[in-house]
Amino acid sequence: MNSSSLSIVRWLTVCVLAVGFLMVWTRQINGAPVERDANQTVRMAVNLDRHGVMSLDEAPPYTPTDYREPVPVLACALGIKIIDGILGAAPDDAYFSGERVRYLKYQNLLWLSLLTVASFWATLELTSSFALGLLAAVLVNLPFAGGPLDMHLVNDLYSEIIASAFFMLASLCLALGFARRRLGYLALAGLLFGVVTLTKAAVLYIFIGVVVLLPCCYLLQRYPLRAAARDLLVIVVTFACVVVPYMYRNQRQLGSFQLSQRAGVVLMYRALKDQMTALEYRGSFYVWAPNSVRSLVGKVLGFTPADLRRGGRLQRLNISEDADFAKEDIAAERAGRPDLSLTYYRKARAERTQIEIQLAQAGHLQAELEGDDILKKRAAAMIMAQPGRWLALTIPFLWRGATLVFPILVAALALAIRRRRYDLALFSLPAFGLVMFYALFSQFIARYGVPAHEVAMVVLMALVGLPFLPKTKSALSG
C-alpha cells in the first residue's frame, strides 16, 4: 500500500472512530436529575448567571461561596446563558432535571472530544505510532463507553471529564516544553495546570510537586542554569496568572486566600478511616475491590455482602445510600450527631455539621468556612498522632482508586528514568502525584482517579512502544 492510500485509510479510520465515539456519548445523555456534587455546581452556575454571584443559596440573599471550583461552574453558567438565549428564560429548577439539563450535559461531548484528541496527540508524540494513538483514544474512552468499566459520568455534570481533558493537555505540554526546550509549551503547561487546579483544587499540590522535581530533570540533562531558571519562572508565572485572581476573589469575598473549603471534611474522612480495626482493614480490600473481582476477593478474604449490612463486620465501611441503615445514618449527619453515625463517612460529615451549628449559634458569620478550618486541624492532628496507621491505610486506598493505574505509572517512571526518556517521566509525573495525593489525603473513591487513569492509558501505550524507540533519544525532540 502506497503512502497516499495509507493516509486515506488512516483518515477513514479516524472518522469512523469519531462518529462511533459521538454516538456512544450522545446516547447516554438524558434529562436525569443532577445530584450531589454536580447539583451544587449547577446551583452555583444558575446563581452566577441569574444573580451574578457564585452561591449555593436557593433564595436571596445570595452569599458568595468557594465550595466548588470555578471552571465547571463557569462552563455550566455559559451553557445556561446559551440555552436561555435559544429557548428563552426558564425557572431556576429547570436546570436540575429535564430537557434543559440534558442540553447542559451536552457540554461533555466537547470535553470528551478534547480528551480523545489530546490522548491521540500525546501517544503520537511519545511513540510516533499512529496505531498506538488510535488504541489510546479507545482506552481513554472506556470509563465513558457505557460498558462494565463505565464510571457513569457522561450523563452527569461532575468535574472529572473536563479535568481529564485539561490534565492530559497540561501533562503533554510539560513534556513537550522540556524535551523541545520551547517556552511556549511551558507557558501553555502553566496555564493549563492553572485551569485544572480551578477544576480540581488538589492539583495545586501536584503542580507544586512538579515544580520542585523539575530541576532534577534539568540537572540530568545538564541544562544551562540560566535557561532552567527561566523555564521554571515561565511555568510558575503563567500558572499564577490563572489561579491567583480566583484566590484573591476568595480573600476579598470570603476572607480566606484558598481555592475551596472542602479540605477539612475530606481530610477527616481519611483520619477517621485510619482508625479502622484490623478486621476492617482486611475487609477494605473486599469492599473497595473492582466489581469484576469483588466476589473472588471476598471468597479469598472471607467476606460476603452480609458483612456490609446493619450489625455486619464491615458496616462502618458501607457508604451506599441503599444500605439498610442509610436513612438513620444520613439523619445523624444532618442533625450533627457523630455519636449516632454508623459509618466513618457519615461520622465525618456529622462532625462537620455539628461544628457549623455550634459556630452559627455563637454568631459566627462564616460558620462553614471556619468550621472547615477547625475540621482540617482536628483531622491533621489525628493523622499526625498515628502516622503508622496513616501510611498503612495508603495501601488499600491505592487499591480502591488506582488498582491498575498505580503500577502502570510506577513502571513508566522507573523505565523512563532508566532509558533516559525524561519526556515520558515528566508526562507521567503529574498523574503519579495525583494518585499519591488522593491515596494519602482522601478517601480516594474511583471517580477521583479518572484524570490519572486517562494519562495512564497513554503511558501504557508508550510502554508498549518503548522497546522499539531509541534508548536515550526523546520521541518528542525528533
Residue-by-residue DSSP string for 237-260? HHHHHHHHHHHHHHHHHHS--SS-
Q: Taking residues 440-455, what's their average pLDDT?
A: 93
Residue 477 pLDDT greater than 60, yes or no: no
pLDDT band at 468 (very low <50, low <70, confident <90, very high): low
Residue 302 in any domain: the answer is yes
Residue 478 in any domain: the answer is no
Give residue 476's pLDDT.
41
Each residue of 90-134: pLDDT tens digit?
998 899 999 999 999 999 999 999 999 999 999 999 999 999 999
Q: Provide the number of structural domains found in the chain.
A: 3
pLDDT band at 478 (very low <50, low <70, confident <90, very high): very low
At which of 72, 99, 126 does a domain end? 99
Residue 4 in any domain: the answer is no
More confident residue, 307 or 15: 307
Residue 472 pLDDT greater than 70, yes or no: no
Residue 238 pLDDT greater than 50, yes or no: yes
Q: Taking residues 438-456, what's their average pLDDT?
A: 94
Residue 91 in any domain: the answer is yes
Residue 400 pLDDT greater than 50, yes or no: yes
Q: What is the Cα–Cα distance from 143 to 119, expressed in whole angstroms?
A: 14
Distance linking the first and last C-alpha atoms of the chain: 26
Q: Taking residues 420-445, what's their average pLDDT?
A: 94
Residue 438 in any domain: the answer is yes
Residue 471 pLDDT greater than 60, yes or no: no
Give residue 226's pLDDT.
85
Q: What is the Cα–Cα distance from 449 to 288, expressed in whole angstroms?
A: 14
Each residue of 183-216: pLDDT tens digit?
999 999 999 999 999 999 999 999 999 999 988 8
Shared domain for 222 and 306, answered yes or no, is: no
Q: Are 250 and 66 in contact (CB under 8 A)?
A: yes
Q: Taking residues 175-179, what's their average pLDDT?
A: 92
At which of 343, 363, 385 does a domain end? 385
359 grid coordinates? 459556630
Shared domain for 91 and 121, answered yes or no, is: no
Residue 401 in any domain: the answer is yes
Q: What is the share, in percent, of the chain residues with pLDDT greater than 70?
A: 96
More confident residue, 257 or 469: 257
Q: Which residues contact 387 (CB under 8 A, 6 or more apart)?
A: none
Give residue 1's pLDDT.
60
pLDDT band at 352 (very low <50, low <70, confident <90, very high): very high
> What per-residue string of b and e applies to 22-37 under the rule 16 or more CB within 10 Å gives b?
eebbeebbebeebeeb
Shared domain for 323 and 414, answered yes or no, is: no
Q: Taking residues 401-411, what's their average pLDDT?
A: 95
At which of 99, 123, 140 does a domain end? 99
Structural domain span for residue 60: 34-99
Q: Any idea what DSSP says for residue 221?
A: T
Residue 150 pLDDT greater than 80, yes or no: no
Q: Taking residues 56-83, what's their average pLDDT?
A: 93
Q: What is the Cα–Cα distance from 176 to 440, expressed in whole angstroms?
A: 29
More confident residue, 282 or 467: 282
Give residue 267's pLDDT.
93
374 grid coordinates? 477547625
Residue 407 in any domain: the answer is yes
Shared domain for 224 and 128, answered yes or no, is: yes
Shared domain for 435 and 408, answered yes or no, is: yes
More confident residue, 255 or 78: 78
Shared domain for 267 and 377, answered yes or no, is: yes
Shared domain for 340 and 312, answered yes or no, is: yes
Q: Are 141 and 150 in contact (CB under 8 A)?
A: no
Residue 304 pLDDT greater than 70, yes or no: yes
What one-letter code names the amino acid at 211? V
308 grid coordinates? 456490609
Give residue 6's pLDDT.
75
Q: What is the Cα–Cα distance from 288 to 426, expressed in whole angstroms?
A: 30
Residue 3 pLDDT greater than 90, yes or no: no
Q: Any idea what DSSP says for residue 223?
A: -
Residue 362 in any domain: the answer is yes
Shared domain for 309 and 338, answered yes or no, is: yes
Q: What is the Cα–Cα distance from 19 to 10, expressed in whole angstroms?
A: 14
Q: Taking residues 160-166, what's their average pLDDT?
A: 96
Give residue 469's pLDDT.
60
Each residue of 361-394: pLDDT tens digit?
988 878 888 888 999 999 999 999 999 999 999 9
Query: Poorest-confidence range of 334-338, 398-402, 408-412, 464-468?
Result: 464-468
More confident residue, 165 or 477: 165
Long-range interactions of 8-17: CB distance < 8 A, separation 24+: 10/130, 13/134, 14/134, 17/134, 17/137, 17/138
Q: Whole-number mean pLDDT of the chain?
A: 91
Shared domain for 248 and 268, answered yes or no, is: no
